[in-house]
Structure formats: C-alpha cells, structure tokens
Amino acid sequence: MARQKGIIKLKGTIEDITFYKTQDGHLAREKGGIDASRIANDPAFQRTRENGSEFGRAGKAGKLLRTALRPLLLNSADSRMVSRLTQAMVKVIQADLVSDRGLRNVIDGEAELLFGFEFNIRGKLGTSLYAPFVATIDRVAGEITVDIASFIPSNMIAAPSGTTHFKIISGGAEVDFEAETYVVATSETAILPWDATPTAVINQVNAVTAASTKPLFLALGVEFYQQINGTMYPLKNGAFNPLSVAKVDSGV
C-alpha cells in the first residue's frame, strides 16, 4: 500500500495498480490475491473458509447490536467503531467451546466479552463519568437499569472544553442474534448544567421482554452541550460523547 502524492488524486484501476481514497488519505496498491473460486472450493483453503464464515457472522452480529442501539449511537460513535465492534464480536464467537470451527456463533460464545466496549474511542466513559453508578439487569422483570446517586457535575464529569451542559443517556437492548431481531428501550435525563450544583438522584429503567432468554445489554453514556444565546447545541457535533457497554447478560 502506498500513499498518493501530487495535485491530482487518482481513483480506480490502471493495469495492476488500484487507486482509492480512505479516511487516511489517497492510497494505491497492487492488484493481487488468490482466485475467489479457488478459495471457495480448494481443500487447502478450508481454514480460510471457516475463518471467513465466522468473520461474516461477527460482522452481522455487530451490525445487529449497532442497529439496536442506534438511537444512542447517532451522537456517540467514532469513525472506526464498526470495525472495532466486529473485532470484539470475533472474540465472542471464538469463545464458543461447543460448535465446530467455522460454525461457532455469538449465542454459544461469550457475549460478556463485550462488557466495557467503548463506542467512541475519542471519549471513553471511564475517563468522562466518575460518578459511581450501579448497572442492573433483571431478566425476570425485563428491566435494564442504571442508578446514579446525586453528584456534583463539575467534580464528577470530565467534560470537553466549551461544555456548559450535559445529559446522561442509557439504553437496554434484548438481541436475538439467531432471528436477527431486537427489542430496545432508551432513557435520558433532562439537559443539566455542568456546574457545582448537585444533581438529583438518577434512575433510568429500560424495559425489554420479561423473562427473555436472549442476550441483554446495557449501554450508558453522556452527551455534552454548549449553550449559546439560550439555545443548546451538541458540543462539536458529539465528537467526544462517551457511550459504553456497562452490563451484559448473555442469556440462558
């Protein structure tokens, strides 16, 4: 892979060189690789096919979780989040000790490995929200809950420069990775001042299906705002809003 220089940037293929644009700039690489039909049929590539199958399954599972949490992710995700989540899902699938290689899946894997996943690497929950919180998943009642005691925002929230206000957001998701369906509920506080005034106690209950046997997830985050002439604006378009997987229950 080479970086293109010069005034004119190329896109497309010339002979054996492919020119393309990424978020890292204009790049070029030599065409190559093994014929697709050989990979699909040659016994020598059996492991490649197995790895590809599981990687595809991981990508599909990651997309389903992202879709379920989309109301929260609209303002709380970095540009590489999709690939990072796929990599995390690969680890979940590889933890499946029951299925044959190539058939391993999220259900028989360890969904708990997603605990602590940061959807926005530029603003992590652990370095933004210092107020202690209690995350609870009540599978029987179908309640995915976060409780935060009263705290002083300017002391317990590390906010980006320019912040005047914030709100706490959370979401509970019940995800059926086999049927590719989900149930999701979200909560948020009012937009609160980022100052030395103690907050009220925060209790957010996100309701999903009672007694569900599917994996359950709690996502917790913070959104930052700047007040200008009485109007609230998302700070830097949410570039530093943290959102993290705060609790996981893989199901039964």
* pLDDT score, position 159: 96
What is the value of pTM for the model shown?
0.83
Pick the closest to residue 181 from 54, 64, 59, 60 (CA basis).
64
Mean pLDDT, consecutive 10-residue stretches, the chain (252 aa), reads: 61 64 69 57 57 84 97 93 96 92 90 97 96 98 98 97 97 96 98 98 98 97 97 92 97 75
User: Could you tell me if 221 and 152 are in contact, meaning their C-beta atoms sit under 8 angstroms apart?
Assistant: no
Beta strands in 105-242 (DSSP E): 133-138, 143-148, 165-176, 181-188, 192-193, 202-207, 216-228, 231-234
Please report the pLDDT score of residue 39 as a whole number: 46
Give the domain ranges of the chain: 1-32, 36-249
Residue 115, pLDDT score: 97
First to last CA, the chain: 46
DSSP 159: P
pLDDT at residue 217 in the model: 98
